[in-house]
């Protein structure tokens, strides 16, 4: 008798999700006994933050779109739960795969758990220990209700065990975001973005800034910009601006206090760009300033110095082994650490364990192991 085909739903909704799900999709394509249904919640609906990633990463168009859009955390999470529950009732999946730590991650996991559908959480166990971060709440709650917890670094294992998660649910597999980066490295190198922007390698820094605790608090955002105002005198800064940050700049009238935000040669503000173009920009930069989690990992593998504009990081291996330094949002510290790099004292890093491009294969091996079904 032929084995019954297994149906797996993968839920994505924001830029980091697309990058992380791509190698899982590719691995599952090798297994005819699996029907994979990709669901896009619509949490990120800007073209460059959403659809362009499917094109760049060769991810098939999602079979189901929830079209949730923006809203408060409660509104967004609630709308996703309601719409994803309907999908689960129609599709009857054997497993739901969620990735990362965004609202879509938690909402889809909660809906699945309520219907007793097994859950696999990719990138489990990461902890900043900062409850101000909505992502920290999403991570903790998703891990608590998941059946398979796939971790990227050894700190993730330790965190989950300390929280009482059974060891048999935890799998150290490596980093699917790095799977994607390594697979796309040749295409990244071919991006024309550097010449298009008339940049010279190592003569500019890349900035990303979008977290609510940084851009939604006027005093904090203003402090960061004051540090960057001084830094731009020493190196050109390229800022692909997130819609959230652009909105706050207008709302707080920061363009009046920091005229360089309105456009100047030493501080290039540009619209969001695609995955391939962005990583080309990062790979050729002198260093990166960011409050993103994933970029801390990407810069480590690309061997580009990274300054994290936060009090903490949920990815400590990027600091202990990688090229990352956590500098907080103090303008003086931002300038000091940037100048250290410009003076030739950047951090030398190494590649963390299992960040070798094979994480997705290890994940799929676990999920399709008949002994665990």
- Residue 277 in contact with residue 238, Cβ under 8 Å? no
Least confident of 65-74, 141-150, 191-200, 284-293: 65-74
CB 327, CB 219: distance < 8 Å:
no
Q: 114 and 140 in contact (C-beta within 8 Å)?
A: no
Q: What was the pLDDT predicted at 3? A: 60
CA angle (360 as vertex; 359, 365 as ends), nearest 5: 100
Whether residue 79 is found in the same domain as residue 101: yes
| DSSP H helices in 130-170 | 134-145, 154-162
Taking residues 330-335, report their average pLDDT: 96
How many Å apart are CA 104 and CA 125, to the nearest integer? Answer: 17
Residue 315 structural domain: 186-342
| Residues 221 and 166 both lie in one domain | no
* Res. 14: pLDDT tops 90: no
Catalytic (active-site) positions: 210
Question: Helices (DSSP H) in the chain: which residue ranges?
Answer: 15-28, 51-56, 73-91, 103-114, 134-145, 154-162, 176-183, 185-189, 193-196, 212-215, 218-231, 243-251, 254-257, 275-283, 294-302, 317-320, 331-342, 359-367
pLDDT of residue 60: 84
Residue pair 9/96 in contact (Cβ under 8 Å)? The answer is yes
Residue 209 in any domain: the answer is: yes
Identify any residues that bridge with 10 across adjacent strands, giving them in sequence order. Answer: 38, 97
168 and 196 co-located in one domain: no
Are 23 and 359 in contact, with CB atoms under 8 Å apart? yes
Residues 55-82, mean pLDDT to the nearest whole number: 87
Residue 214: CATH number of its domain: 3.40.50.2000
Q: What is the mean pLDDT of residues 118-145?
A: 96
Residues 198 and 79 occupy one common structural domain: no
Q: What gap in Å lies between CA 340 and CA 283, rounded to an integer?
A: 19
Please report whether residue 347 resides in a domain: no
Q: Are residues 129 and 78 in the same domain?
A: yes
Residue 1 lies inside a defined structural domain of this protein: no
Q: What angle do CA 149, 153, 156 make, to 5 degrees?
A: 50
Pick 123 or 262 by higher pLDDT. 123
From CA 146, how far away is CA 250, in angstroms rounded? Answer: 40
On the question of pLDDT at 336 being above 90, the answer is yes
Residues 13 and 65 in one domain: yes
The reply to whether 164 and 18 lie within a common domain is: yes
Q: What is the mean pLDDT of the chain?
A: 93
Residue 83 to residue 297: CA distance in whole angstroms: 32
What does the pLDDT read at residue 265?
A: 87
179 occurs within a structural domain: no
pTM (2 d.p.)? 0.93
pLDDT digits (tens, 9 = 90+) for 100-114: 999 999 999 999 999
Question: pLDDT above 90 covers what percent of the chain?
Answer: 84
Local confidence band at 320 (pLDDT 50, 70, 90 cut-offs) = very high
Task: Give the pLDDT score at 348.
Answer: 86
For residues 157 and 15, membership in a common domain is answered with yes
Tell me how many domains the chain contains: 2
Residue % of the chain over a pLDDT of 70: 96
Identify the H or E element spanning 171. Answer: strand 170-172
Q: How far apart are alpha carbons 359 and 180 in whole angstroms?
A: 10
pLDDT of 177 strictly over 60: yes
Q: What is the DSSP letter of 270?
A: E
Confidence at residue 326, expressed as pLDDT on a 0 to 100 scale: 98
Q: How far apart are CA 339 and CA 342, in angstroms?
A: 5
Please tell me whether residues 139 and 266 are part of one structural domain.
Answer: no
pLDDT reported for residue 371 = 38
Residue 181 inside a domain? The answer is no
Tell me how crowded residue 5 is: count the other CB atoms within 10 A of its CB: 11
How far apart (Å, rounded) are the C-alpha atoms in residues 325 and 346? 10
Whether residue 192 sits in one domain with residue 168: no
- What pLDDT is recorded for position 243? 86
Same domain, 125 and 11: yes
């Amino acid at each position: 008798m032929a084995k019954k085909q297994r149906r797996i739903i993968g839920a994505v909704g924001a830029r980091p999700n697309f990058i992380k799900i791509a190698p899982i999709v590719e691995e599952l394509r090798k297994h005819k006994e699996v029907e994979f249904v990709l669901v896009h919640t619509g949490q990120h609906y800007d073209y460059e933050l959403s659809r362009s990633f499917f094109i760049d990463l060769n991810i098939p168009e999602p079979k189901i779109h929830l079209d949730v859009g923006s809203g408060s955390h409660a509104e967004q999470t609630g709308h996703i739960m309601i719409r994803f529950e309907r999908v689960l009732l129609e599709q009857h999946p054997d497993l739901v795969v969620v990735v990362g730590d965004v609202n879509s991650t938690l909402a889809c996991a909660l809906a699945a758990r309520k219907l007793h559908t097994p859950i696999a959480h990719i990138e489990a166990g990461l902890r900043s220990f900062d409850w101000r971060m909505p992502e920290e709440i999403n991570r903790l709650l998703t891990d608590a209700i998941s059946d398979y917890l796939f971790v990227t670094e050894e700190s993730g294992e330790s965190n989950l065990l300390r929280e009482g998660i059974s060891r048999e649910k935890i799998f150290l597999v490596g980093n699917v975001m790095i799977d994607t980066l390594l697979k796309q490295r040749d295409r990244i190198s071919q991006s024309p973005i550097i010449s298009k922007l008339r940049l010279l390698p190592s003569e500019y820094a890349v900035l990303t800034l979008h977290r609510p605790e940084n851009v939604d608090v006027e005093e904090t955002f203003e402090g960061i910009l004051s540090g960057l105002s001084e830094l731009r005198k020493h190196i050109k800064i390229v800022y692909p601006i997130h819609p959230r940050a652009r909105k706050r700049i207008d709302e707080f009238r920061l363009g009046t206090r920091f005229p360089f935000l309105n456009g100047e040669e030493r501080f290039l503000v540009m619209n969001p760009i695609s995955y391939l173009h962005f990583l080309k920009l990062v790979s050729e930069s002198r260093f990166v300033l960011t409050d993103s989690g994933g970029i801390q990992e990407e810069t480590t593998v690309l061997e580009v110095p990274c300054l994290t504009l936060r009090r903490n990081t949920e990815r400590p291996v990027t600091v202990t082994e990688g090229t990352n330094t956590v500098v907080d949002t103090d303008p003086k510290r931002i300038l000091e650490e940037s100048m250290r790099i410009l003076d030739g004292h950047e951090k030398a890093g190494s590649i963390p364990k299992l960040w070798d491009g094979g994480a997705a294969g290890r994940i799929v091996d676990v999920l399709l192991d008949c002994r665990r079904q």
